[in-house]
Amino acid sequence: MHTTPLYRQLANHYLDAIRSGTLKTGERFPSIRLMMEKHAVSLSTAVQVCRELEDYGVLEARPRSGNYIRQPDTLPKTVVSTPPPLDTGAYLGIHEQVSSVLKASQRATIKVNFASAYCAPELYPLKILQEHMIKALRQDQHLLGVQGSTGGNLALRNILARRALTTKANLTAEKMVITNGATEAINLALRAVTQPGDTVAVESPTFYGLLQILESLNLRVLEVPATAHSGINLFALEQLLQSPERIRALIVIPNLQNPLGSIMPDANKARLVQLCAEHGTVLIEDDTYGDLVDTEQPLSTLKHWDCSDNVIYCASLNKTLAPGLRLGWISAGKWHERVEMLKHTQTRGCETLSQLAVGAFMKTPSYERYLRRLRKTLTQQRQQISAAITRYFPPGTCVTDPRGGTLLWVELPRHYSAMALFREALKVGIQISPGDIFSNTQRFDHFVRIGCGAPYSPKIDEALATLGRLLENQR
Ligand SMILES: Cc1ncc(COP(=O)(O)O)c(C=O)c1O
């Protein structure tokens, strides 16, 4: 199955032409009829290509004249959410949307959960970690009586720094802080480099948790289009960076983006790092999923391409190793001292026992063997769920085919409502993530994120068939 829909492939084709200057600003864009002829595509595909390019802000429809390549300086900003007032505890904007979805899920009795990005607990090496914990407690009877350092256990930081060398990132243990997951790492990064009211750009769509963090820190959000094909659209980003509004920071998930599953090509990573450095925009890298790539060859990080110490690297073990331990880390380069101070004032150091257990496991060859097995399992689970979606969902549904991870991003034909599906599915104990929570725009109201972290079973198959039936009722 080709996972990038034809209209997106064509849209990318034309974006490349605009980028390279083959199609210039102000020029007439090929007509719908010409596209149908030249690319042997249907009317609806040709129209979708134009719509996609309009979404990127590079195409402008002029009445009775056709489509034209847009002037870069008139490009619209994709979205700006106004910062919520500081003195209210009420959820506003995206946070309200996300909270209502999460709360509705918490109230329901869930039998099958497709909303989770985690693996099923049985896929994690829990027994081994428990054994390492018992060993650590035996070795140091005072362990629970002593507070750990703010930066975290140095042995674990050394292991993480050594592992990062394989992803070509040069992180030093001394300039790393162990955190409560990537969530705390990203919070720290943002607090270190922004002030309330600053503008921070994110990919669109992006993980809703990032949008919640931004809103909670009173930051303005700018969404930059991204595709499952290659992640953030650098052309659109470049235009935004040139606009008068200063973009203080940009958060990007370059590897196995949530929800798109995209992996940025190395050339794009290098260009992105360069662009941000040129415009004085701090690049915050969220590498939560990088270790879950299918291939043996590790993915490069943005940090690898960073020559000017402008990338803050954030990562987590919560998807790859043990969600219950909530371990993540941040390598903030020149902002390290500030991050360490913020960590100290916010939560102090993370507890030591889990760090010792994880460190003890990660330094053995069993860790790589475990990851290899996990990746294979996830590939199979994704394939099985993807095949079932093709079987049960309405014709015209598109599913991504990510090269790793736990997530599928499913595009329903436009007239279907993901939020209606979410509500109806909850009534029968099935939880999904509706596309609306991954953006402050309404662009993803017909998208659904499906988590593939659990082994395929008749129960999962039946739940997907039920989702298909619920969608049929929407017709
Ligand atoms: C892209 C991304 N970043 C960050 C997080 C949060 O990570 P953690 O659980 O380590 O705080 C998630 C969790 O789903 C995520 O998908």
Average pLDDT over every residue of 379-393: 97
Q: Find the mean pLDDT for residues 192-209.
A: 94
Distance from the alpha carbon of residue 183 to the mean position of ligand 1, in angstroms: 6
Query: Cα(227) to centroid of ligand 1, in Å?
Result: 19
Residue 189 φ/ψ, nearest 5 degrees: -60, -45
Name the 3-class secondary structure at 381: helix
**What class has domain 6-74?**
mainly alpha
Cα(159) to centroid(ligand 1), Å? 21
Q: Is 256 exposed, middle or buried (0-12, 13-18, 19+ CB in 10 A)?
A: buried
* Pair 250, 220: CB distance under 8 Å: no
CATH 3.90.1150.10 region(s) of the chain? Answer: 95-123+372-473
Band the pLDDT of 389: cuts 50, 70, 90. Answer: very high
Answer whether 22's CB lies under 8 Å from 69's CB: no
Token digits of residue 11: 């849209």
Residue that wins the pLDDT comparison between 41 and 345: 345
What pLDDT, on the 0 to 100 scale, is given for residue 2?
45
pLDDT at 72: 45
Q: Residue 93's pLDDT band (boundaries 50, 70, 90)?
A: low
Residue ID of nearest Cα to ligand 1 atom 10: 181
How many CA atoms within 13 Å lie on the side-chain side of 78? 32
Q: How far apart are CA 351 and CA 349, in angstroms?
A: 6
Q: How many CB atoms lie within 10 A of CB 355?
A: 22
Between the CA of residue 237 and those of 204, 250, 271, 295, what are the distances in Å?
11, 10, 11, 29
**pLDDT, mean of residues 298-312:** 96
Residue 141 buriedness (CB in 10 A; 0-12 / 13-18 / 19+)? exposed
Residues having CB within 6 Å of any atom of ligand 1: 117, 181-183, 207, 209, 253, 258, 286, 288, 316, 318, 328
Q: Are 24 and 69 in contact (CB under 8 A)?
A: yes
| pLDDT of 80 strictly over 60 | no
Q: Tell me, what's the pLDDT at 443?
A: 86
State the alpha helices, DSSP H only, in 282-364.
Answer: 336-346, 352-362
Gap from CA of 118 to ligand 1 centroid (Å)? 9
Mutation choice for ligand 1 from 318, 409, 433, CB with most ligand atoms inside 8 A:
318
Q: Give the mean model confidence (pLDDT) for residues 85-101.
A: 55
| Res. 90: pLDDT tops 50 | no
C-alpha distances in angstroms, 263 versus 16, 229, 289, 290, 401?
A: 18, 8, 10, 9, 11
Q: What is the pLDDT of residue 10?
A: 86
Within 8 A by CB and 6+ apart from 438, the residues are: 204, 205, 206, 207, 208, 211, 259, 444, 447, 449
C-alpha 345/C-alpha 188 separation (Å) is: 11
Phi, psi values for residue 285, rounded to 5°: -95, 125
Lowest mean pLDDT: which of 78-82, 228-232, 240-244, 403-407? Answer: 78-82
pLDDT grade for 103, boundaries at 50, 70 and 90: confident
Please answer whether residues 92 and 269 qualify as being in contact, where contact means their C-beta atoms are separated by less than 8 angstroms. Answer: no
Is the pLDDT assigned to residue 70 strictly greater than 90?
A: no
* Nearby residues of 243 by Cβ (< 8 Å), 6 or more positions away: 73, 75, 77
Q: How far is the CA of 117 from the centre of ligand 1 (A)?
A: 8
What average pLDDT score do residues 61-69 get?
80
> Does domain 126-366 sit in CATH 3.40.50.12370?
no
95-123+372-473 carries CATH number 3.40.50.740: no
* pLDDT greater than 80 at residue 48: no
Overall average pLDDT of the 297-321 stretch? 96
Q: Which stretch, 72-86, 231-245, 366-380, has highest mean pLDDT?
A: 366-380
Structure tokens at 63: 């009445």
Mean pLDDT of the chain: 89
All CATH 3.40.640.10 domain ranges of the chain, comma separated, are: 126-366
Amino acid of residue 59: L
Secondary structure element (H or E) that encloses residue 222, with its range = strand 220-227
**In a 3-state reduction of DSSP, which class is residue 399?**
strand
Confidence (pLDDT) at 71: 58
With a cut of 90, say whether residue 135 has pLDDT above it.
Answer: yes
Give Cα 252 distance to the centre of its chain. Answer: 7
- Judge whether 222 and 80 are in contact, CB under 8 Å: yes
Residue 3 has a pLDDT of 55
| Separation between Cα atoms, residue 426 and residue 112, nearest integer Å | 10
Q: Which of 186, 319, 406, 437 to mutate to test the pocket of ligand 1 (most atoms within 8 A of CB)?
A: 319
With the most atoms of ligand 1 within 8 angstroms of its CB, the residue from 102, 160, 183 to mutate is 183
- Could you give the residue ranges of the DSSP H alpha helices within 167-293? 181-193, 208-216, 234-242, 266-279
Q: How many CB atoms lie within 10 A of CB 400?
A: 24
Residue 450 tokens read as: 């499906």
* Helix H or strand E segment including 460: helix 458-473
With contact defined as beta carbons under 8 Å apart, do 352 and 148 qualify?
Answer: yes
pLDDT band at 426 (very low <50, low <70, confident <90, very high): very high
Top mean-pLDDT range of 10-19, 53-62, 267-276? 267-276
CA of 326 from ligand 1 middle (Å) equals 10
More confident residue, 225 or 19: 225
Q: What is the mean predicted confidence (pLDDT) over 196-224? A: 92
Ligand 1 centroid – CA 182 distance (Å): 6
- Residue 167 is predicted with a pLDDT of 72
What is the location of CATH 1.10.10.10 in the chain? 6-74
Q: How many residues does the chain have?
A: 475
Percent of the chain at pLDDT above 90? 69
